[in-house]
Amino acid sequence: MSRGDEMFDQVRQQKAALRKKMRAMREQVDPVQKRLFDEAIGHRVISSSVFESAQSILLYLDFSHEISTELIIRQALLLGKSVAAPVTKRGEQMIQAYPIDCVEQVHIGDFGMREPLSTGAPMAVEAFDLVIMPGLAFTHQGDRLGYGGGYYDRYLLHSKPSTVTMALAYDFQLVSDIPVQAFDIRVHRIITPTADIECMV
C-alpha cells in the first residue's frame, strides 16, 4: 500500500469512528429536549436574513434522529418560496431535487427515508438560493461530516456561486477538527439551538 493509500485509509477510519460517536450521542438526546432543540433551530433559520432573501430552497426531509425541518418547510411555503427535497435512487450515486407543495406530499424512498413524490422533471441545482443539509459533525470553519455517501459533495459541485449552504446541528455536533478530503465541501452557515455561525469558507 502506498503512502497516499495509507493516508486515505486512515482518514476513512477516523471519519467512521467520528460518525459512530456522533450517531450514538444524537440517539441519546431526550425526545422532549429534541423537540425543543429542533424548534429553536427552526426559528433561528426562518429568522435569518439568508432564509428571508432566498426564493428557492432545497432541504432534507428529516429521518430517524435528524433535526426536524418541518417548521422551515411550512414557513417557506407560507411565504411563497419554491421548496424542494432530495431523492436518492438505489444504485445511483447522486441526488435529484423534486419540488414539494406541502409537508405531507411525501413517500418512503428506496433507503427508507421520506422523499417528495418524484413526478415530472427534477429541479436543477443552479435553481437554489439556499441548500440546507443534514450531517453528523461540523467545525466552525464549515467542515462537514456527512453519512459517507458523498451525495451532497457531488451535487453541489454544479451549484451557482451565490448559493448558500447551511447545516443544522445540535451544539454537541460542533467539534474542533474533522478529517477532510479534497472533495469534501464546506458549508457557509451552521445553525444550532444557541447560535447562527457564519463559517470561514
* Binding-site positions for ATP: 15-19, 144-152
Grid coordinates given for 191 = 445553525
d(CA 77, CA 167): 20
- What phi-psi label fits residue 61: left (phi over 0), alpha (psi between -120 and 50 degrees) or beta? beta
Q: Are the C-beta atoms of 143 and 117 separated by less than 8 Å?
A: no
Task: For residue 87, give the nearest of 64, 54, 120, 55 by alpha carbon.
Answer: 120
d(CA 181, CA 41): 28
Which residues does the annotation place in the binding site for substrate? 61, 66
- Phi then psi for residue 181, to 5 deg, are -125, 170
Classify strands 196-198 and 189-191 as parallel, antiparallel or unpaired.
Answer: antiparallel
Q: Are the C-beta atoms of 63 and 76 separated by less than 8 Å?
A: no
> Alpha helix (H) ranges present in 65-164?
70-78, 151-155
Which residues does the annotation place in the binding site? 15-19, 61, 66, 144-152
Most distant CA pair in the chain, distance: 55
